[in-house]
Structure 1
Amino acid sequence: MDPEGSCTEDDPHVKLMMEGSTLRKVKSRFWKKQRHFRLLEDGLTIWYKSGWAGKGHSKFSVSDLEAVREGHQSEVLLSIAEEFPAELCFTLVFHGRQGNLDLVAETPDEAQAWIQGVRKLIHKAQNMDEQGRQDQWVRDWFLKADKNKDGKMNFKEVKKLLKMMNVDMNEDHALCLFTMADKSETGYLEIEQFVHFYKILTQRDEVWKVFQDYSGDGEILTLEELECFLRVEQQEGQHSSHRAEELIQRYEPLESAVNQSAMTMDGFQAYLCSLDGSIFKPELLELHQDMTQPLSHYFISSSHNTYLLENQLTGLSSLEGYIQALKRGCRCVEVDSWDGDDGEPVVYHGHTLTKKILFKDVILTLRDYAFKVSEFPVIVSLENHCCLEQQTVMANHLRQILGDMLLTAPLDGQIPERLPSPQQLRGKILLKAKKSGGLETRLDETLAYEASDEEEVADGDPESPTLKDPQAEENKKSKLSRELSDLVVYCKNVRFQGFEQARSNATCYEISSFSESKAKRLSKEAGAEFVRYNSQQLSRTYPSGMRTDSSNYNPQDMWSTGCQIVALNFQTAGLEMDLNDGFFRQNGSCGLILKPDFMRDANSRFSPEKPEERPGYKPLRLSIQVISGQQLPKVNMKEGSIVDPLVRVEIFGVPIDQVKAETSHINNNGFNPVWNQTLNFIIHVPELALVRFVVEDFDMTTKNDFIGQFTLPFTCIQPGYRHIHLLSKDGTPIPPSSLFVNVSISELT
């Protein structure tokens, strides 16, 4: 079933995929096994098994795929490059943290058929409208439940399928709807009839009530009635007449209604479920902020231990870590470099069992992926543990591989008084590392440097008494190659020696690193000073060395003091990465967010601990009516298991804004639960607040199971009746799961 309704079977590439191919699935240099792959009739599911006679098989949806890489574009395929030429090889890249699938075809033509065919199908899946996604989701379920593959289901089978879809409903009502859909009166529903049955089943009473409130005749919304709804409920007062006409043209399926500038219930629901009806203001998803201010005025999406895919003791080091982070808009990656056995520096988590990767391969990966998602600068945070000779090798690799991408001198040849802007640094890679002297000086080939905070101790306070020992002080001196030192321009690592010293001596291109514990302490003890410091200087914060599981701290604590480079383990899913993803979703997902004006002022009096003392302090009231949920995913795949969902709204921001509230749970309904409960909050610093919606499966005896979430900045919320399209724990969409809410934002009276 083609996603857009037109036949894809005529496409020669897709046709070959449907006929099937024997491809080698490659997991390593030593694991290469043949599997039979084919595209199923729905045009969106790829199925494969180990042998024609074997029972074991797997499948995945094209909508799970993000891209196809051609040739030797993975570490695994590079390792077998001598055995299999590039024209036979390709990699299927999945959304989120799911591992890639490396494949080798029998012939170049067959490889091209799969590469081009999958790309076409990905393009179609990505361009489906909300209704198309919904229909495809329903068809997927039908095909999953149609065990004998006869393309039809009786009522007993439909009841079983509804349970699989998280629907627990009255049997008489279901039978009544089944009979309505069975227009041919055969006692069976074919796939199109089942889609119709599902549409009847999913008619939304709560949306119908809103429609009725504004429709004069209960059948349509006239242009004036839709304008009124947009003005009163959606608070879209400006140009509401033009806006109403635009929405009718975009979402109304009935041509006769479009011709009379009216909207039916189907069009109204399509609008509410669309991007325009989403809780996130669509215009703020685009690049819209001023990108001409000094780099210190921006929050920068930043990764810690970027080379790791798992934990930092035994996890796999991989180039894929860099690719995944950069694809998510990350603009600061970490490279831990150590001496390699053959004179080639390697990257890994030192003194651990993590696998090593070549430094030059990391730089090649940066060259290829740094600017695919964002044109703004990438900072390479280099932790240098190499001898002089291998430091020089690193410098040569950086220069030769990156070429003009690498910034090697101040932009205008002048010593800067303030950092250049993201706009000025577009397409540039900046090295953050130790440098001897300033931009003004060039010293001898062998240079002494003082270790930065991050290298003094694994994690702890660099001002700890243990560091005052004379021997420890002497050990902090090391040697730095001039070639590497000269590549550091705007991000010179220095040890933080207090706010007073920074005020009198710091230059704009010096950057200090802070452990999470030190950053939190400074925020609590000297919040306003930290904010002022960060208006001029770049700061990097990093997770505790005790987090051997690669867990994360709450980045909001660091953003609230203006720290720009808040490094997180991108490889670790959970709350903290939800916050990071939600925060950086705005501004075109470019990886940089302009700080609020009161955090860019060198004379700022703002302190996260005392927000009420800031000039212009104006708290807001946030009221969220959680109305209903739609098609929530099951968390327990046991037959007959239905979720008991509840919704929790969590606010993250300055300490006084860290609050949460939740609805009651609904028993046995993951299909269309209705809460109609209102949660109220006071937001003291709206400019720094994030709002996270979490859906969980209630359990009285154990911890609730996670169902889905969505996080966004408070400033990006659209008031009114809105849908929240839920994301998985991995941060990937789980259509058609959503929440329906009514949001109101007002000033405190």
Structure 2
Amino acid sequence: MATTQSFFRIQTDANLQSMQVGSIMRKVKSRAWKKQRYFRLQDDCATIWYKSKKAGNAHSTCKLRWLWKPPLISISDVEAVREGHQSEVLLSIADEFPPDRCFTLVFRGRRGNLDLVAESAEEAQSWVKGMRKLIENLENMNERERLDQWISDWFKKADKNGDGRMNFKEVQDLLKMMNVDMNEHHALRLFTMADKSQSGTLEDDEFVLFYKMLTQREEVLRIFQDYSSDGQTLSCRDLEEFLREGQLKQDHVQQHSMELIEQYEPSDTAKMRQAMTIDGFQMYLLSPEGSIFNPAMLEQHQDMSQPLSHYFISSSHNTYLMGDQIRGHSSVEAYIRALKRGCRCVEVDCWDGPNGEPIVYHGHTFTSKILFKDVVTVVGNYSFKTSQYPVILSIENHCSVEQQRTMAQHLTRILGDKLLRNALEGKGSDLPSPEDLKGKILLKGKKIGGLERSLDGVVEDSLAAEVSDEDDAAEIEEENLHNDSIRRKPKKSKQGLSKELSDCVVYCKSVHFNSFKHSRIHSKFYEISSFAESKAKKHMKDAGAEFVHHNARQLTRIYPNGIRTDSSNFNPQEMWSAGCQIVALNFQTAGMEMDLNDGLFTQNGCCGYVLKPAFMRSVEKRFDPEHPEIRDGYRPVTLTIKVISGQQLPKVNLKEGSIVDPLVRVEIHGVPKDQARQETRHIDNNGFNPMWHETLTFTIHVPELALVRFVVEDYDKTTKNDFIGQYTLPFSCLQQGYRHIHLLSKDGTSIPPSSLFVHIRIKEGT
């Protein structure tokens, strides 16, 4: 379409021109699976299609015949391009193809990456640079350009014969694809109105007009007219009134109204009059500034100079796994994905491997194995791409003393100065801060002695603790699994701990937990204990306030029960409510639990550290999550959410003619007293512009700990509702007023332009 074509004037770029001609490259899945494919960037610069190449049969000519295949790669699905041998697959063929011919397309979400080998280094560079340019341009799109791109995508889907026009039958098919169950007469009326050329088809601008009529937001127009003095525009004064009354904003509204007009109003004439049209108003409401998530809270804004124990830390369990913990695939890619999502604590399960090289996998299972040194290399390369704050390498050590020495050698050689080897000066009685430890990797594991003294040689198991805390709990749970054919019961190892590996542990010495009383008297600030989720829940139930107090001074790691063989997750909010910092989840498993984790750590610049509320950091006072009202500064709030409408919700059933029946559920996750959920009625057959206009009200006792999760589902009266989209954020990051919620997929990736339109009001008291 014309609007999209004008945006992609980057087509003049030489690399993109080369990509549009196309290239024969090898698609690589393994050392044995390397097949030629023809890849070409389409003219829209938004998609790449490829086809397979197969030799003809014995009776055909020597020419190669091309078989068309449907796969398309959308540029918007590609997160990054990695050059060289940066995947296990490409590393496995490093002896066949040099790194300058190899590259990897990294997809968003949990979709597998695409490893490619070009015919030459020059061709590889052309694709690498071209893809990066396309990704950069997509990331820099404003809301109007994103919408143009989305309209263009639908236009191409509906234009079955590819002639650049759409007849009415194609428009009807389009409406079904877009989740619209529209009366045929009404659809024909809009089609006729848009067909200015009276050709019986819609082209370029005519389709844009049709789309605008189709997407006219009556609920937004009504709000606009309520505040407009003349019914046509919002003057500066009108906009100020809207900001005060509609958006519940009190400060700097006059200056803000002028800034909004300058930034979002598309009409130069209106700008000159210092006014905003309905188009500008809608663009503002759909922008990041009109989002439910306060943009100021997305930036790094918290105090990062407090002890590590004062922060929630984004943490992963069994980080090496791409799938379940019985037969799942182990991969360094899993570490890359976790670290790029802002994860600051990753787990490494280490076992003796062949040729004296330690390996990483889920012991005594059928999960695949990777080399420890490859994991360390990836951690060194990717730890500080997303955040500069420290990464904790949580070691589950099952190796012999000899291979532990090899582990220590790899850690010191590969990580170099990034590995913290010595305590920081002036930090003799408290943990250092994230700011103090910027750019550093900390090892969590067993340690000989403490920071106060060091011992020589190898200490046997009485001092070294034969296995990690995680394994102690896992063995107990293993007895209840009754599944020896899948995971054989491990024998407890008797080896000691090498001094070399011990010396790599500074502030995260793993110790067995006895009791809160014992910890108060004997524990050192640099010691950390790990709990299975079930044990943690018991401590919370028996002594919640003691648990919070313990976590004000010392680090605690929580991990899923061993019986979660499918790598499912527990609700992390329960653990955060007790002040536990390192709440480790299976990042590879999508669901509500990871939504909460992503929601909490989206704030503060996605740096992986979120400062705990003041009442959870105090060593003088006690906070009991079971009785939140017994604390200084207790101020419950009332949250009122008016769910107004939805926009362009994705289809969940690809069956032809299927339209969703959406409902919205709002969940509050916090201390036990705050756990709540309410939902709207469902709307029959309308995923395009459903209207609810329903109000949901919640009382929240500890807003500092609460997360708000919006879930959209496709109602089904006979079976479980299908998931459509969700969005989760901390209560403290909510913006009041009329806000859009830009929905995310099950994988946590965006699904533009799907959104909800709501009004938020927060009032102190109940």
- TM tier, smaller: over 0.9
Quote the offset at 1:378 in angstroms.
Answer: 0.0
Instruction: Using the TM superposition, give the Cα deviation of residue 453 of structure 1 relative to its aligned residue in structure 2, in angstroms.
Output: 2.5
Counterparts of 1:50-449 in structure 2, within 5 Å, are 50-51=52-53, 53-412=66-425, 416-448=428-460, 449=464
Output the amino acid matched with 2:294.
K
CA drift at 1:655: 0.7
- 1:108: how far off? 1.5
Taking a change above 3 Å as real, the CA distance of residues 253 and 656 of structure 1, as seen in their structure-2 partners, is same
Which shifted more, 332-341 or 230-239?
230-239
Aligned to 2:717: 700
CA apart distance, 1:151: 1.0
Q: CA deviation at 1:57?
A: 2.5
- In structure 1, C-alpha distance between the alignment counterparts of 2:233 and 2:674, rounded to whole Å: 42
Superposed, 1:574-593 pairs within 5 Å as 574-593=591-610
Asked if the contact 1:24/1:33 (under 8 Å) is kept, the reply is yes
Q: Quote the Cα distance in structure 1 between the aligned partners of 2:473 and 2:606.
A: 34
Identity score, percent = 64
Q: 3-state SS of the aligned residue for 2:420?
A: coil
Q: Which amino acid in 1 is paired with 2:32?
A: F
Q: Name the residue aligned to 2:751.
A: 734
C-alpha contact 2:83 2:103 (8 A) present in aligned 1: yes
CA distance in structure 2 between the aligned counterparts of 1:365 and 1:13, rounded to whole angstroms: 29
Aligned-pair CA distance for 1:476: 7.7
Which residue is 2:21 aligned to?
19
Q: How far apart are 1:459 and its partner, in Å?
A: 5.9
The CA distance in 2 between the partners of 1:6 and 1:203, in whole Å, is 27
Contact 1:433–1:488, Cα closer than 8 Å, also in 2: yes
Match of 1:44 in 2: 46
Measure how far apart 1:475 and its partner are: 6.2
Tell me, yes or no, if the aligned pair for 2:106 and 2:113 is still in contact at 8 Å.
yes
Question: Does the 8 A contact of 1:516 with 1:544 survive in 2?
Answer: yes
The whole-number CA distance in structure 1 between the counterparts of 2:199 and 2:184 is 19
2:497 aligned counterpart, secondary structure: strand
2:764 aligned partner, one-letter code: E
List per-residue Cα deviations over 1:36-83 (Å, max 9, x = no partner): 111112210111111363132200210111111111111101111111
Residue 3 of structure 1: how far off its partner (Å): 6.8
Name the CA shift for 1:77/1:193 in 2 (closer, same or farther; >3 Å).
Answer: same
Change (3 A) 1:192 1:79: farther
AA aligned to 2:234 is L
Question: Aligned with 2:91: secondary structure?
Answer: helix
TM superposition score normalised by structure 1: 0.97
> Residue 455 of structure 1: CA displacement?
2.5
Contact 2:737 2:761 in 1 (8 A): yes
Gaps of at least 5 residues in structure 2 are 54-64, 481-490
Distance 1:122 1:379 in 2: 31
Is the Cα–Cα contact under 8 Å of residues 257 and 263 in structure 1 kept in the other structure?
Answer: yes
Residue 654 of structure 1 pairs with residue 671 of structure 2: yes
What is the alpha-carbon distance in structure 1 between the residues aligned to residue 207 and residue 621 of structure 2? Answer: 62
Answering whether residue 474 of structure 2 is matched by residue 458 of structure 1, we say yes
**What is the aligned partner in structure 2 of residue 469 from structure 1?**
none
CA distance in 2, matches of 1:108, 1:703: 51
Distance in 1 of aligned mates of 2:355 and 2:332: 20
Provide the rounded CA distance (Å) in 1 between the counterparts of 2:216 and 2:271: 22
**Mind listing any 5+ residue stretches in structure 1 that lack a counterpart?**
465-473
Q: Give the distance between the partners of 2:496 and 2:444, measured in 1 at CA.
A: 17
Is contact 1:461–1:518 with CA below 8 Å preserved after alignment?
Answer: no
**Residues of 1 paired with 2:36 and 2:762: CA distance?**
58
Output the amino acid matched with 1:158. V
- The code of the aligned residue for 2:756 comes to L
Conserved? CA contact 2:397–2:468, under 8 Å: no
Residue 183 of structure 1, CA deviation = 1.4
One-letter amino acid matched to 1:669: N
Residue 261 of structure 1 deviates from its aligned partner by 1.2
Question: How many equivalent residue pairs?
Answer: 739
Displacement of 1:147 in angstroms is 2.0
- Is the 1:460–1:518 contact (alpha carbons within 8 Å) kept by the matching residues of 2? no
User: In the alignment, is the contact (CA less than 8 A) between 1:622 and 1:746 conserved in 2?
Assistant: yes
State the match for 2:563 in structure 1: 546
Q: What SS class does the counterpart of residue 230 from structure 2 fall into?
A: coil
d(CA) in 1 for partners of 2:198 and 2:709? 47
Name the CA distance, whole Å, in 2 between partners of 1:167 and 1:97.
29
Q: Secondary structure in 2 aligned to 1:147?
A: coil
Give TM-score, length-normalised by structure 2.
Answer: 0.95
Instruction: Tell me the CA shift for residue 411 of structure 1.
Output: 1.2
SS at match of 2:590: coil
* SS across alignment from 2:574: helix
User: Aligned partners of 1:630 and 1:457: how far apart in 2?
Assistant: 47
* Residue type at the aligned position of 2:470: E
Which position in structure 2 is the counterpart of 1:600?
617
Structure 2 counterpart of 1:34: 36
Q: Say if 2:666 is the partner of 1:674.
A: no
Q: Which amino acid aligns with 1:549?
A: D
Q: Does the Cα contact within 8 Å between 1:4 and 1:132 map onto a contact in 2?
A: no
Q: Do the aligned partners of 2:401 and 2:495 also contact (CA within 8 Å) in 1? A: no
In 1, are the aligned partners of 2:477 and 2:562 still within 8 Å (CA)?
A: no
- 1:138 deviates by 1.4
CA–CA distance in structure 2, aligned partners of residues 146 and 23 of structure 1: 30
Contact 1:452 1:512 in 2 (8 A): no
